[in-house]
Structure 1
Amino acid sequence: MRMRLMLLGGGNSLGQALIAQGAEEDIGFIAPRPPLHGWDVASLTQLLDDTRPDALINLAYYFDWFQSETVCAQRFAEQEQAVERLAELCQHHGIVLLQPSSYRVFDGGRATAYSEKDEAMPLGLRGQSLWRMEQCIRAICPRHVLLRLGWVLDDSSEGILGRLLQRADLAGELELADDRRGNPCPVDDVARVILAVLKQLDCAAPLWGTYHYGGQEATTPLTVGQAILAEARSLRSMPSVEIAAKAHAACVDAAEEPQHAVLACKKILNTFGVKPRAWRTGLTPLLDRYFRHE
Structure 2
Amino acid sequence: MTSLASNAGPILVTGGAGQLATSMVRLGGPRIHLVGRPAFDFDQPQTLAASFAAIQPVAVVNAAAWTAVDAAEANVEGATRANRDGPEILATLCAQAGIPLIHVSTDYVFDGDKGAPYIETDPTSPTGVYGRTKVDGEQAVLAANPRTIVLRTSWVYSATGKNFVRTMINAGEKNPVLRVVGDQFGGPTAADDLARAIVAILERIESGGWQDDYAGIYHAAGTGETTWHGLAVAALEVAARHGRTMPEVVAIKTADWPTPARRPMDSRLDCGKLERVFGIRLPPWRESLTNTVDELMAPSSL
TM-score by length of 1: 0.89
- Cross-structure match for 1:282: 288
Deviation at 1:254, TM superposition (A): 8.4
Of 175, 179, 183 in structure 2, the residue corresponding to residue 179 of structure 1 is: 183
1:157 and 1:290 in contact (8 A); partners too: no
Task: List runs of 5+ in structure 2 lacking aligned partners.
Answer: none
Deviations 1:242-283 (A, max 9, x none): 111112333324852100100001100000000231111122
- Cross-structure match for 1:103: 107
Residue 236 (1) aligns with residue 239 (2): no
CA distance in 2 between counterparts of 1:41 and 1:59 reads: 16
Residue 11 (1) aligns with residue 14 (2): no
Task: List runs of 5+ in structure 1 lacking aligned partners.
Answer: none
1:164 and 1:225 in contact (8 A); partners too: yes
- Cross-structure match for 1:214: 221
Deviation at 1:99, TM superposition (A): 0.4
Instruction: Identify which range, 221-230 or 31-40, moves more after superposition.
Output: 31-40
- Cross-structure match for 2:209: 204
Equivalence map 1:1-294=2 (5 Å):
1=5, 2-23=8-29, 28-32=31-35, 34-35=37-38, 38-39=41-42, 40-61=44-65, 64-65=66-67, 70-71=71-72, 72-79=75-82, 80-202=84-206, 203-206=208-211, 207-238=214-245, 240-253=246-259, 255-291=261-297, 292-294=300-302
CA distance in 1 between counterparts of 2:127 and 2:144 reads: 25
1:115 and 1:264 in contact (8 A); partners too: yes
1:177 and 1:221 in contact (8 A); partners too: yes
TM-score by length of 2: 0.87
Are the structure 2 counterparts of residues 261 and 290 from structure 1 closer, same or farther at C-alpha, using a change threshold of 3 Å? Answer: same
Are the structure 2 counterparts of residues 94 and 11 from structure 1 closer, same or farther at C-alpha, using a change threshold of 3 Å? Answer: same
2:63 and 2:104 in contact (8 A); partners too: yes
1:105 and 1:120 in contact (8 A); partners too: yes
Q: Which runs of 4+ in 1 moved over 4 A?
A: none
CA distance in 2 between counterparts of 1:68 and 1:256 reads: 9
- Say how many residue pairs are matched: 287
CA distance in 2 between counterparts of 1:29 and 1:135 reads: 26
Deviations 1:130-157 (A, max 9, x none): 1110111121111100000021112235
CA distance in 1 between counterparts of 2:210 and 2:143 reads: 21
Aligned-residue CA RMSD in angstroms?
Answer: 2.2
Deviation at 1:33, TM superposition (A): 5.4
CA distance in 2 between counterparts of 1:168 and 1:199 reads: 40
2:209 is aligned with what amino acid?
Answer: A
2:10 and 2:55 in contact (8 A); partners too: no
1:177 and 1:248 in contact (8 A); partners too: yes
Deviations 1:69-91 (A, max 9, x none): 64443431331322121122111
CA distance in 2 between counterparts of 1:252 and 1:172 reads: 22
CA distance in 2 between counterparts of 1:153 and 1:86 reads: 25
1:87 and 1:137 in contact (8 A); partners too: yes
CA distance in 2 between counterparts of 1:189 and 1:154 reads: 10
The percentage of aligned residue pairs carrying the same residue is 25
